[in-house]
Amino acid sequence: MAFSVGVIGLGMAVTPHAKSLLDLRERVQVAHAFSPSKERRSKFAEHFPFPQTDRLETILEDRAVDAVLILTPPNTHLELVERCARAGKHILLEKPTGLNVEELIAIRDAVRAAGVRTIVSFELRYNPWLRFIHWMRESGRLGRIHFARAHYLSRVTDWYSGWEWCRTVKGGGSHLLAAGCHAVDALRWATGLEVAEVSAYHMKVTPGYEWPTTIDVNVRFEGGALGHVTSTTDFQMPYTFGLEVMGDFASIRDTTLLWKDTPLSLDELRSANPFPDVTLHETTYGSGAGSPAIRIDCVMPDSADVSHHPFQAEIDDFVDAILTGRETMLNVFDAQKTMEVCLAADQSATSGGRPVALPLVR
């Protein structure tokens, strides 16, 4: 069974999505690619043979279009989700979903009323390293999680194609909303825990932004575990994405699997590991002789180049969910929880670190 999609927005995010759609051409037909910009349409046409339109209505009114990809700046998401949902289109939505609580509620209600399938582009969940960490925790091999930490460090200035909207309060909102939400989502997914309360501080260093460019967030999870998120564009270093998950059986620090009291069996892990693109190797941790450890070897989320990110797996999940009538693991209802943490952290930082309880949306 094949179905038809419309692409809304031909900016930076469209290229990896379009490549993924090309790989699914036997199952998915791109009926229309929309942008009001003639320049963007011309540039897009140099690489992708999809029909183009300068009218959004062409997509909304085409009954043959089953799904849409909304790849536009964040301040346009609410209107587009509402219009596409009313038209009965399944929706792939770029992050952040909404820029405030009111938008999150309106997006949730529009999708719920329409009954359409959705997926939100927290595509790093499909990275093999993050999938392996999620599996280690879910299989019980880490034990009970009591601490986790994530960081999203990206030096973004006027080289970025979305700079003019990203740097503004209206367009980007904050560093957590525009970028660091990936770290917040990874923290939630890796731990399997929901956030009960946050407190945060922020500051502005990099010129050109209307919002603070570094935020440091303390997290208290439901059940009492603690967490931490750093999101910044201020560091003089390449894009870096990090994650640590500490359990009472074992811990993961980036690509190193560690233990202290009860050793993990490398042979058992290799045998049980469900991911062929993840390999495990004996190593040591620390100076001198070091302590026994296991190194996780796979493609890492260590590049700011979006073509490096696992969009194909995201598109595959979206397509399969539509064809089989199931929900995706990244629908707007789940993504809303990530966005609420970001909004709560921004609220706390704006008020000088005052704790903010979650959820924000009731």
In tens, the pLDDT along 32-76 reads 999 999 999 999 999 998 999 999 999 999 999 999 999 999 999
Q: Check pLDDT > 70 for residue 1.
A: no
Burial class, 4, CB count within 10 angstroms (exposed 0-12 / middle 13-18 / buried 19+)? middle
Across the chain, the runs of DSSP E, i.e. the strands, are: 3-8, 28-34, 52-53, 65-70, 90-93, 118-120, 145-153, 195-203, 214-221, 226-232, 240-247, 251-253, 256-258, 279-285, 291-297, 356-357
Q: What is the pLDDT confidence band of residue 27, given thresholds at 50, 70 and 90?
A: confident
Query: For the chain, how many helices (H) and strands (E)?
Result: 12, 16
Q: What is the pLDDT confidence band of residue 24, given thresholds at 50, 70 and 90?
A: confident
DSSP string of 15-34, one letter each residue:
HHHHHHHHHTTTTEEEEEEE
Q: Check pLDDT > 70 for residue 265.
A: yes
Measured on CA atoms in the order 299, 302, 308, 314, is the torsion positive or negative?
A: positive
Q: Check pLDDT > 90 for residue 362.
A: no
Q: Exposure string (b/e) for 183-208, b if CB count within 10 Å is 16 or more?
A: bbbbbbbbbebebbebbbebeeebee
Among 129-138, 249-258, 311-320, 352-361, name the one with the lowest average pLDDT: 311-320
For the chain, the 3-state helix, strand and coil shares in percent, each to the nearest 5, are 35, 25, 40
Record the tokens describing residue 219, joined without a space.
């997290």
List, in sequence order, every residue forming a beta bridge with 52; answer none if it has no partner: 33
Q: List, in order of start, the domains of the chain with CATH numbers.
A: 3-122+308-328 (3.40.50.720), 125-305+342-350 (3.30.360.10)
CA dist 304 to 109, 131, 160, 179, 308, Å?
33, 19, 10, 11, 8
Q: Are the C-beta atoms of residues 189 and 111 closer than 8 Å to each other?
A: no
- Greatest Cα pair distance, the chain, in angstroms, is 67
pLDDT tens readout for residues 203-226: 999 999 999 999 999 999 999 999
139 CB neighbour count, 10 Å cutoff = 11
pLDDT at site 33: 96
Q: Are the C-beta atoms of residues 356 and 348 closer than 8 Å to each other?
A: yes
Q: Exposure string (b/e) for 235-266, b if CB count within 10 Å is 16 or more?
A: beeebbbbbbbbbeebbbeebebbbeeeebeb
Q: Which amino acid is at 71?
A: L
Decide the pairing of beta strands 251-253 and 226-232. Answer: unpaired
CA 69, CA 73: separation in Å to the nearest integer? 13
226 CB neighbour count, 10 Å cutoff = 14
Q: Quick one: which of 140, 132, 168, 137 has its CA closest to 276?
A: 132
List, in sequence order, every residue forming a beta bridge with 202; answer none if it has no partner: 215
Averaged pLDDT, 303-326: 86
In the block, residue with structure tokens 């064809």: 323
Q: What is the pLDDT confidence band of residue 306, given thresholds at 50, 70 and 90?
A: low
CA 110, CA 97: separation in Å to the nearest integer? 13
> What percentage of the chain exceeds 70 in pLDDT?
99
Q: Check pLDDT > 90 for residue 308.
A: no
Q: Check pLDDT > 70 for residue 259.
A: yes
pLDDT at site 51: 94
Instruction: Give the predicted TM-score (pTM) of the model.
Output: 0.96
CA 271, CA 265: separation in Å to the nearest integer? 10
Q: Quick one: which of 123, 53, 113, 57 has its CA closest to 88?
A: 113
Averaged pLDDT, 23-38: 90
pLDDT at site 240: 95
CA 293, CA 216: separation in Å to the nearest integer? 30
